[in-house]
Amino acid sequence: MNPRDFLADDYGIEQSNKIAPRDFLEENKMPNESLAGSLVKAPFRIGQDVAKAGMTALKNIPGYYQSAQSEVPGLFNTLMQHPMHAGGQALAGLGELGQSAFNFPHDVANYASNRLNLLPQNINEKIQMGRMPANTQEQINQTFGEPQYPGEKLLRGINRNALNLMGAKGIASALNPLNLTHTSIAKNVLNEAANMQKKYSKSYGNLWNEAKQKGFENLAHVPYKIDINNLSKYTPTNRLENLQDFIKNPNNESAHFAKSELLGLQRELKRKTTLTGGEKKQFNAVNDAIDVLKDNMLKDNSGKVNNGMMQKYEKMQKSFKNEALPYRVKAIKKFQAGESTPSELVNSLSKGVFYAKRGSAHPSLMIRKNILPLLGGAAGIGSLPYIYNLLGNNASRQENR
């Protein structure tokens, strides 16, 4: 059985901006049904829907079998004869998977409103406004085309339904109430922060080694171009540790860390509405030092930049800014230092720069922010085991907040 079926086909939840019709809501909702009454009936309604989806899947088995007889053998021939077109269909399936994954929280809200009566319809309509546009499917087809050769429907469908192929337990793990606790989300964030650190340490390390092997390592002439006097005069010593290290060991790696340090000072000074005379001198010295470091990295002895390595460096900087830098926010640093609780950390990360850039990398954080408050906070977590159990796993009903 497709474990998402009872969230989709039978109740009008498609890969679009459409909302299940109101007559469905009226058909299934008793007059003036209270939230408590809906909570009591929710597990029974979910059970009915899972059973109905299972029966539909059983009825469709003969059709699946007939399609498989032509699609499976045809796929191998198509991969040999039309590899480019087949590859496009595989990518199209991945695009549809991304669309489905993006819309999944909206599907949950839709189901909670139109079937379980746990979410007010007016709130659900606002949530549905955030769905991926309906023309996304058209854009995917325009980019990759539609299946033309035998087996391409199967290839595209495998990628599109990757979440379903995970099985009930895989889907259930995303709804595990224990994964939605403050402590669990905080742990997940710290683990991802460590992963990002490892990822970029390795990437940058490989680049510095490549520069050293190609003879692009000596930056001994650069420290003399930096206004270290004004920087030292107006900047605390502990804010110039990386710059001092560069002056002692002038190479691409130390230049990179010195530049990062100075960029932090630059951002702080830019945020000030007015600068004192000393701060203006500091600001100018910081800007000049950043430019000097940037202009002299990855150059040979004749002053020629290695364009290939510079492109790698600039690409890494851009992705680092979006993927890794958000994990250096003050809220995470405070939590790591034992100065805040898991709930304080999660509340802080549920807004601002971190949520804008990395919220999608932490589904539990997004669900806790957008869905659980609408289901009644703690009650929302408490009701999730019903869904979790029905999808094939014995989740604990313990509410560990």
Q: Which amino acid is at 304?
A: K
What Cα–Cα distance (Å) separates residue 36 from each residue in 49, 116, 124, 175?
Answer: 20, 11, 19, 21
Q: Could you give the C-alpha distances from 295 to 224, 292, 298, 302, 311, in angstroms and in order? A: 14, 5, 9, 13, 14
| Claim: this prediction has a pTM higher than 0.85 | no
> What's the rounded Cα separation, in Å, for the pair 368 and 347?
10
Enter the tokens of residue 91.
């990518």
**Do residues 14 and 96 touch, judged by C-beta distance below 8 A?**
no
Q: What angle do CA 212, 218, 220 make, to 5 degrees?
A: 155
- CB burial of 127-144 (b: ≥16 within 10 Å; e: otherwise) equals bbeebbeeebbeebeeeb
* Domain edges within the chain: 5-165, 174-212+331-401, 213-330
Each of the 401 residues of the chain gets a pLDDT tens digit; together they read: 343 443 333 333 333 333 333 333 344 444 456 666 666 676 767 666 666 665 665 555 455 445 555 565 666 676 777 777 777 777 776 667 666 666 666 677 777 777 777 667 777 677 777 676 666 667 777 777 787 777 777 767 766 665 554 444 444 454 455 567 889 899 999 999 999 999 999 999 999 999 999 888 889 999 999 999 999 999 999 999 999 999 999 999 999 999 999 999 999 999 998 999 999 999 999 999 999 999 999 988 778 899 999 999 999 999 999 999 999 999 999 999 999 999 999 999 998 889 888 887 887 787 777 655 544 444 444 444 444 443 333 333 333 34
Q: What angle do CA 103, 51, 168 make, to 5 degrees?
A: 50
Cα angle for residues 393, 394, 399 (degrees, 5° grid) = 120
**Helix 35-81 vs helix 83-114: crossing angle, to nearest 10:** 170
